[in-house]
Amino acid sequence: MHQASVLCMSNKPRIQVYILTGFLGSGKTTILNHLLSSLKGSRVTVIENEFGDISIDGSLINQQLSQVVELSNGCICCSLDEDLYDVLTELAQSELPSENLFIETTGIADPGNVASIFKREDVSKVFELKRVLCVIDAETVEDYLKQTSELHRQIIGSDVLIINKIGLVDPTYLSSLQKILNSMNPFADFVTTEDGQFNFELLEKSQTRIVIPKPKWSLLGRFSHQISTTSFSTLLAFDERELLHALTVTLMLYYKQVYRIKGFVQVKGRSEKFLLQSTGQRLTLEAIGSWDSDQRLSQMVFIGIGLQHQTIERILRPTFANGLTKTDVKLENE
C-alpha cells in the first residue's frame, strides 16, 4: 500500500461510499443503474471492478449519470488494492469532488477486504463508508452457496441484503430463503426486488453496521479465488440460433463449472449490438442499441472453475455464421 496520505479537504463534507457486491449474475449492474437514476443532480463516481481484461459491466453503466472509473484484470479485494487507493487519492484531490461513490466489485470479491481500506485514518477523513450492499439472485443463491465460499463472505460482510429476481421463485420459498439468509447474517436489513428496481431512499432507511463479522464456516477458503476467466473476441458474426443452442447445452452440462457468461455479440443479419448473458442455467440475448463503430467486435467473458480456452473455442466454433479459423479469434485465459 502506498505511504502517501489521501489529502483531506477540511472545508468539504466527506464523500459517501457504498460498496455493491454480489455473486456472478445476481444483477448488480442493473441495481446500480437504478440507484444512479434516483440520484440525478448529484455528483456521483462509480468504480467498476472487472475480473477479466474485457470490460462488459462498465459499458452497461449509465455514464450520463456518473463518472465511471474502471479497474480491471484483477480483484480490488486483493490484487488491485493499491490501484483503488490511487483512485481514492485522485477523487479526494479533485477540485469538485463527488458527493457519492459507488464501488461495484467483481462477482467473487470479499467485501470485508474492500471495506477495510475505508477504516484507514487518512482515508476515513475524506470518505465515509455508509453501506455494504449484497445483491442476491433468489433463484440460484442456494446452489452457489453449496459450491463456493465467495458468496458466504459477501452475505456475511454486508449490511443490506437485496434479494433480486423474486418473480422467479415461489413466495413460500422466498420466505424460507430469507430465514436462511437471516441465520447467516442477523445484522443485515432485507430488501426484495423483482427486476432490480431499487432507489437511494431505501439505503437511507437502513442502519449502518460498524463491525463486519468474520465468517465461521470451515468451508471458507476452500474455493477462494480458484475462479478464472476466459475472454473471447472475434469480428465474425454469430448464428443466433446456433449460439443460443450451444451455450444453453453448455450451461446444462457444466452448470457447476460455468458460473457466468457475459458479453457483446454481432448476430448475422442484424445491425444491432446484442448483450449476451447467463445467470445460473438461464441464457438471454437481447438487442441493446447500435454499435459504437463500424468494427463490430464481439467480446465474451466466461467465468467459472477449471475453464479451458480450447474448450470454449470448440463450443463456439460451430456457432459462427461463416465458419471459424484460429486466426479469427482472440482467446485469453486468466
Taking Cα atoms as reference points, which of 151, 135, 132 lies closest to residue 211? 132
User: What pLDDT score does 135 carry?
Assistant: 96
Low-confidence ranges of the chain (pLDDT < 50): 1, 3, 54, 208-225, 325-327, 334
Sort strands 274-279 and 227-234 into parallel, antiparallel or unpaired: unpaired
Same structural domain, 73 and 178: yes
User: What pLDDT score does 119 carry?
Assistant: 80
User: What pLDDT score does 301 carry?
Assistant: 85
Determine whether 259 is exposed, middle or buried from the number of CB atoms within 10 Å of its CB (0-12, 13-18, 19+): buried
Same structural domain, 117 and 266: no
Sheet containing 127-137: order of strands = 67-71, 44-49, 100-104, 15-22, 127-137, 160-164, 189-192
Indicate which CATH number applies to the domain containing 37: 3.40.50.300
Same structural domain, 140 and 281: no
Neighbours of 257 (CB within 10 A): 15
Cβ-based neighbours of 65, under 8 Å, separated by 6 or more: 33, 36, 37, 39, 40, 44
User: What pLDDT score does 292 carry?
Assistant: 86
Distance between CA atoms of 302 and 220, rounded to whole angstroms? 23
Give the rounded distance of the alpha carbon of 46 from its chain centre.
Answer: 12
User: What pLDDT score does 82 carry?
Assistant: 80
Asked if residue 9 belongs to a domain, the reply is no
User: What pLDDT score does 307 carry?
Assistant: 85
Domain count, the chain: 2
Same structural domain, 39 and 174: yes
Asked if residue 323 belongs to a domain, the reply is yes
Same structural domain, 189 and 262: no
User: What pLDDT score does 38 carry?
Assistant: 86
Distance between CA atoms of 48 and 168, rounded to whole angstroms? 27
Asked if residue 101 belongs to a domain, the reply is yes
Sort strands 100-104 and 189-192 into parallel, antiparallel or unpaired: unpaired
| Span 107-125, pLDDT tens digits | 888 887 788 888 888 898 9
Same structural domain, 34 and 86: yes
User: What pLDDT score does 62 carry?
Assistant: 60
Same structural domain, 262 and 328: yes
Distance between CA atoms of 275 and 287, rounded to whole angstroms? 6
Distance between CA atoms of 117 and 220, rounded to whole angstroms? 22
User: What pLDDT score does 209 carry?
Assistant: 44
Same structural domain, 166 and 263: no
What domain range includes position 86?
15-205
CA distances in angstroms from 63 to 32, 43, 60, 86, 253, listed in the order given: 11, 12, 8, 21, 37
First to last CA, the chain: 24
Residue at which a domain ends, from 174, 205, 236:
205
User: What pLDDT score does 187 carry?
Assistant: 74
Distance between CA atoms of 133 and 124, rounded to whole angstroms? 19
Residue at which a domain ends, from 170, 205, 240:
205
